[in-house]
Structure 1
Amino acid sequence: MFDPIIEVLVLAAVALVVLSRLYMALGKGGNDRPVQRPNPAPSPRDAKPVDLSEHRERRGPSDRPIFTGPAAGGLEEIYNADNSFSESGFLQGAKAAYTMIVAAFARGDRDALRPLLDDDVYEAWDAAISARTPGDAAHFDLLRIRRAEIDSAELDGRMARIMIRYEAELGDGETTRTAKEIWTFMRDVTSPDPNWILDDVETAN
């Protein structure tokens, strides 16, 4: 009378153990698969800006950038001296700097210009602002940047210099003109300060 009951209880216990292990195996596999599955490449619509500082922290030997074009050798030397350097990040900053500096010069804002310019450039632009008549204080605006690309680059000791070729449209509300210039930005690669300053401005063809 008791043997069938004992047999049922034993089978039930075995089944419980088997089901428990199967559940654990399936549950563990379900948790692992989303981690191991590669994420699909984002579409341009879904793409978001990359945090450059975070990207630099995660950069490994296999992530070393490949520089191309006429400035490749200089950019390679700058990267070797400071591997936090990012060409794309620098270009974004150079466009923003151009916008800020042109706007500050147009309105004669010396306080905004001072931290962005080398001493020689600041002195020349300060003199140009002083030579204006009151009506000339803001006689033009930056309408758009048509072109901003790295023209050349070099590392002279600790000092990195990158030359950017700009082509921009300026206007005064009635007429527009095209400005073509090469701006040289410089930075001490051993300095903890990540900012570049404007070292020279030349007219471009």
Structure 2
Amino acid sequence: MIELLLLTAIAVFVGWRLYTTLGSDSGSPDGRPRNQQPSSPATPASQPRENPAGLRPAFTGPAASGLETIHAADPSFNPKEFLTGARGAYEMLVKAFADGDRETLKRWLDTDVYEAWDAAIAEREKTGSEAPQLLRLRQSEIDAADLDEQGAARVTVRFEAELGIGDMTRGSEEYWTFMRDTGSDDPNWILDDVDTP
């Protein structure tokens, strides 16, 4: 009986120490709410979360100089996180194009790009031809980056994908340029240009 009481007391003491050291899920050890970052919106190529630790991302590859310039203007910019968002944007926008979802496209495309894609959708609807479906995104990499005098950052990503049209499968290689005004409070990037090799 004494051993049981002793073990219970030890367990309570250890639990109390863990609680005061690590804190509960709703606050820090001193009882104040934890400083939580708001979750990023589910947007195609949104600006990454702030970097509280002040860690500087690595800039490598052919676009390293441009990426570093963008980071200097916007310290929250992280190429790795940007590329993850760009992949999500590619998948979302290719699907929106295939579905003829003009509302989604208009939100995330620059005016010139939207007008070209809208015309292609209209032609497809007129002729009744099938839309290309994304089967697999094989590769993506940042190809170029720059910051203009007005503070507009542009990052070009090369995408290699496998598309299906009816029973046919074909490879696709495109260069998508995303743009964002680094002086704006809007964290989202828009698709500014699309090129092929």
Could you state the TM-score of these two structures normalised by the residue count of structure 2?
Answer: 0.73
Residue 172 (structure 2) pairs with residue 179 (structure 1):
yes
1:87 CA drift (Å): 1.1
Q: After the TM superposition, which residues 34-183 of structure 1 pair with which residues of structure 2 at under 5 Å, given as runs?
A: 56-60=50-54, 63-132=55-124, 133=126, 135-136=128-129, 138-157=130-149, 158-183=151-176
Deviation of 1:82 after TM superposition, in Å, equals 0.5
Indicate the structure with greater helix content. Answer: 1
Give the letter aligned to residue 78 of structure 1.
I
Q: How many residues align?
A: 159
Distance 1:54 1:177, change over 3 A: closer
SS of match in other structure, 2:179: strand
Change (3 A) 1:55 1:202: closer
Which digits, 9 at most, give the CA deviation of each residue in 1:11-40, with x for residues without a partner?
A: xxxxxxxxxxxxxxxx89xx59xx7xxxxx
Shift in CA distance, 139/54, structure 1 to aligned 2, threshold 3 Å: closer
Q: Which one has a bigger Cα radius of gyration?
A: 1
Higher relative contact order, chain-length normalized (CA < 8 Å, sep 6+):
2
Aligned mates of 1:126, 1:114 — CA distance in 2: 9
1:196 corresponds in structure 2 to 189
Residues 48, 77 of structure 2: 8 Å contact kept: no
Shift of 1:85: 0.7
Task: Could you tell me which runs of 5 or more consecutive residues in structure 2 were left unpaired when the two chains were aligned.
Answer: 1-12, 22-38, 41-46
**Cα displacement (A) at 1:120:** 0.6
Letter in 1 for 2:140: A
- Equivalent position of 1:11 in the other structure: none
Residues 80-103 of structure 1, C-alpha deviations (whole Å, 9 max, x = no match): 000111111111110011011111
What are the superposed Cα offsets for residues 34-69 of structure 1, whole Å, 9 maximum, x if unpaired? x7xxxxxxxxxxxxxxx7899624222xx1122111
Query: Within 2, Cα distance between the matches of 1:68 and 1:128?
Result: 36
1:130-185 superposed Cα distances (whole Å, 9 cap, x missing partner) = 1223522x532100111110001000021000000010000024110001110100
**CA–CA distance in structure 1, aligned partners of residues 78 and 48 of structure 2:** 12
Structure 1 residue matching 2:71: 3-state secondary structure = helix
TM-score by length of 1: 0.70
- Structure-2 separation of matches of 1:104 and 1:134: 19
- Aligned-pair identity in percent equals 54
Q: Which runs of 5+ in 1 are unaligned?
A: 1-26, 36-50
| SS in structure 1 at match of 2:85 | helix
Query: RMSD value over aligned CA atoms?
Result: 2.5
Q: Which amino acid aligns with 2:100?
A: G
